[in-house]
Amino acid sequence: MRPSLATFALVAVTSSLPVCRAAFAQQPAPPAPAPAPTPTPAPVPTPPPAAPPAAATPPAAPPTAPAGGSLDLTTLRELLDRGVISQMEYDAAMRDIAPSTGEQRAGEATSLAFGKWATTIYGFIEGDFIYDNTQSFNDLAGNALVARPNGQAPPQNPNQPNIQQTYAGSNGQTQFSIRNTRFGFRLKPPAVGEIRTSAMLEMDFLGTQTIGSGTGQVTENAFFTSPVARIRHAMFRIETPVVDFLIGQYWDLFGWQNLYHPNTVEIQGLPGELYSRNPQIRISKTIHAHPITLELAIAAKRPPSRGSEAPEGEGGVRLAVDDWTGMQTMGATATSIMPASIALTGDYRRFEVPAADSLVPTKTVTTTSTSVAADAFLPVLPASKDKRDNALSLTGEIAYGAGISDLYTGLTGGVVFPAIPNNTGLAAAPAWPQNIDNGLVNYDITGFALHPIQWTTYIVGLQYYLPALGGKVWVSANYSHTQSRDTSLLGNYSATSDFARVGTGVPGGAGVNAAIDPNRYYYPNSTAQVRAGEDWWDVNLFYDPLPSVRLGAEFAEFLDHYVDGFTATNLRGQVSGYFLF
């Protein structure tokens, strides 16, 4: 039993050795627990959860996304900075948009980019508050005649009756209008090699309406509160390394519009200012030869009447001095840094109208006309993108031509076509089939020769941007003169009525004491209703309180000189606000 106990004890001892060995091995472990705290700091690196921010950095990739094909809301300037459009494409966009909102706002115009496609939305909201001391005009005065006041008989002609005693010429009016509000879209697809294309659609709310309550007319309330939208520009360009093409409705090349339009609060076009847009096909070439830029252009455009079988032709050359720049505001909203420049343009027209020597025309009478215009922009006190104040600049335009009244806003001079003699026994006088607008051409009714009506116009403007204000406050002034050598021959000289028969007392008109003869041709309007010339001037003050807001105030005087020697006057005060986008 003892051996078995010994054996048992031996087994117990041997079986406990591993435990003792383990226990012995742990004896040096007491120092080990000290290192154990070191693992505890290890959790401190757990800040790696900050790794998510690192993952957030990838969202920086979206800027390049548009090039890949996602829709992006941005601006033209950002598209240029990111390389989505080139400098040449950016400059082309400025050429189209800046004439409405100015270069600074144009660069910030909202653009939708999808890959290399970009659509830019631009324009302005305008509110006009206008007072006139006569009722001669709507909100847009243009070249309309100033109404003669009551009791104003022509002093130079004692035989002339006091036929123009008008209510409109003796009473004032106040108008509130938003019709000059404008918006547009410019589209730019990707370039194809070195060929770039673009298109623009621009509209305002000065569409054709007539105030009144009769058939085909609108009420005065509807005229101002529900105006009709109209197309200003609808065109596209194809620009190549050789020449550029423009197709659609755009500014007329004659007068190199709109680069020389004066700065004014008044809605343009102004009296004596070339201001017109027409459907056309234009070919142009721009030659950059620093320090000058030369532009050449020719255009075929809509003829003065659709009865003319030949299109109207225009051509011009423009020279700019690249480094001689100044501040220029075209119209009321388009402020930009522009180089000094001069432009010469010409216009050729062919007129084809029905002969007026019979009640039912059987043949066509034709005539042609040529016109020339010179325009200039001169920075007297220069400006640059870094210096926009204490800047003075001058604009000027002179035009001499015939048959071009439709290239101005509302210019007819009161001239209308002759009345057809009523020798048919009809109760109503027969109507001549007129296929052309009044004021362009007219007949010498003594021989039925067709003559384009001649006009000479010039307009000069001054703009001064006050010092120390960053170009945010400026004043401007303009003066224009309009005259015609032909209109004095296109009014009758009746002593007893508004109408007169053809006589021998005055070339192309009627005898001073003649009475109407319904069996002869006659000019319906008298010399007291036809303009010999007009003078117009205004002064303006502008202020930009915010980048997108502009305020302007104007005082203007219209002096309308009638053929009978009387001058009718209209005084206008206007305050306007503009929100540019």
Note whether 364 and 353 are within 8 A (CB): yes
Tens of pLDDT, residue by residue over 305-352, are 888 889 999 999 999 999 999 999 999 999 999 999 999 999 999 999
Q: What does the pLDDT read at residue 218?
A: 83
Q: What does the pLDDT read at residue 378?
A: 98
Tens of pLDDT, residue by residue over 246-296, are 999 999 999 999 999 999 999 999 999 999 999 999 999 999 999 999 999
d(CA 435, CA 358): 15
Q: What does the pLDDT read at residue 424?
A: 66
Which secondary-structure segment (H or E) carries 336? Answer: strand 334-354
Banded pLDDT at 10 (limits 50, 70, 90): very low
Q: What is the 3-state secondary structure (H, E, C) of 23-53?
A: HHHHCCCCCCCCCCCCCCCCCCCCCHHHHHH
Q: What does the pLDDT read at residue 14?
A: 39
Coil, helix or strand at residue 217: coil
Pick from 147, 152, 155: nearest CA to 565: 155
Pick from 467, 566, 560, 465: nearest CA to 137: 560
Note whether 147 and 136 are within 8 A (CB): yes
Note whether 263 and 273 are within 8 A (CB): no
| Residue 113 in tokens | 């980019």
Look up residue 418 and give its DSSP letter: P
For the cut 60, the answer to whether the pLDDT of residue 175 exceeds it is yes
Distances (CA, A) of 53 to 45, 47, 58: 16, 11, 9
d(CA 406, CA 453): 11
Mean pLDDT, the chain, whole residue set: 83
Note whether 125 and 533 are within 8 A (CB): no
d(CA 79, CA 429): 64
Q: What does the pLDDT read at residue 494?
A: 52
User: What is the mean predicted confidence (pLDDT) over 342-363?
Assistant: 86
For the cut 90, the answer to whether the pLDDT of residue 7 exceeds it is no
CB neighbour class for 311 (10 Å; exposed up to 12, middle 13-18, buried from 19) = middle
For the cut 50, the answer to whether the pLDDT of residue 74 exceeds it is yes
d(CA 244, CA 299): 12
d(CA 309, CA 518): 34
Q: What does the pLDDT read at residue 5?
A: 38
Q: Is the peptide bond before 258 cis (omega within 30 degrees of 0)?
A: yes
Q: Is the peptide bond before 269 cis (omega within 30 degrees of 0)?
A: yes
d(CA 229, CA 181): 10
User: What is the mean predicted confidence (pLDDT) over 34-57?
Assistant: 46
Q: What does the pLDDT read at residue 89?
A: 87
Banded pLDDT at 525 (limits 50, 70, 90): confident
Length of the chain: 581
d(CA 367, CA 225): 43
For the cut 60, the answer to whether the pLDDT of residue 509 exceeds it is no
User: What is the mean predicted confidence (pLDDT) over 43-69?
Assistant: 46
| Residue 351 in tokens | 């007129």
Q: What does the pLDDT read at residue 64?
A: 45
CB neighbour class for 472 (10 Å; exposed up to 12, middle 13-18, buried from 19) = middle
